Amino acid sequence: MLTKKVKSRITFLVLLLSVTVAIIFFIFNSLKENIVYFFSPTEISQELNISYKDTIRIGGLVKENSLRKEGKIINFIITDLKNEIIVNYEGLVPNLFSEGKGVIAEGKLKDKKYFIANKILAKHDENYMPPEVSKALEE
């Protein structure tokens, strides 16, 4: 049913597409560090050559009972439930920033366990529910 012309076009497209997909895959693989928006505390602890000069982003959960506010200065711990990093920040935080919730901090590492942030973003998860349901779930 398929003519020779059609067959050759299919072969051409399949070849072209597989080459393109392979190229895209290799580009993304080599750029992985640039595409990820933030690192987890575990990734930071495993990373051998960390730059202490570059601005980076770390993300995870704000550890329960770790939030301390003194005026405008805020200290808290970002955890991925395996490793932790203490974060120091001065400024305003988003409304959704709170203990137990997702957070992303942008700034510089002082050492592997201490991070000076100059920007705080709240990360929302994929769960949506009414307040009554969330209350019922907690109880």
Question: Which residues form the interface with other proteins (CB under 8 A)?
Answer: 6, 9-10, 13, 17, 20-21, 24, 32, 35-40, 59, 93-97, 101, 104, 120-135
Cβ 26 to other proteins shortest distance, Å: 14
**CA quadruple 94, 115, 67, 65: dihedral positive or negative?**
positive
Quick one: 61 or 93, whose CB is closer to other proteins?
93
Quick one: 81 or 96, whose CB is closer to other proteins?
96
Cβ 122 to other proteins shortest distance, Å: 6
- Cβ atoms of residues 89 and 69 within 8 Å: no
Within its chain, how far is the Cα of 53 from the centroid? 20
Cβ 40 to other proteins shortest distance, Å: 7
Lookup: tokens for 114: 């201490």
Cβ 23 to other proteins shortest distance, Å: 10
**3-state SS, one letter per residue, for 29-58:** HHCHHHHCCCECHHHHHHCCCCCCCCCEEE
Quick one: 9 or 110, whose CB is closer to other proteins?
9
Quick one: 9 or 69, whose CB is closer to other proteins?
9
3-class state of residue 126 by DSSP: coil
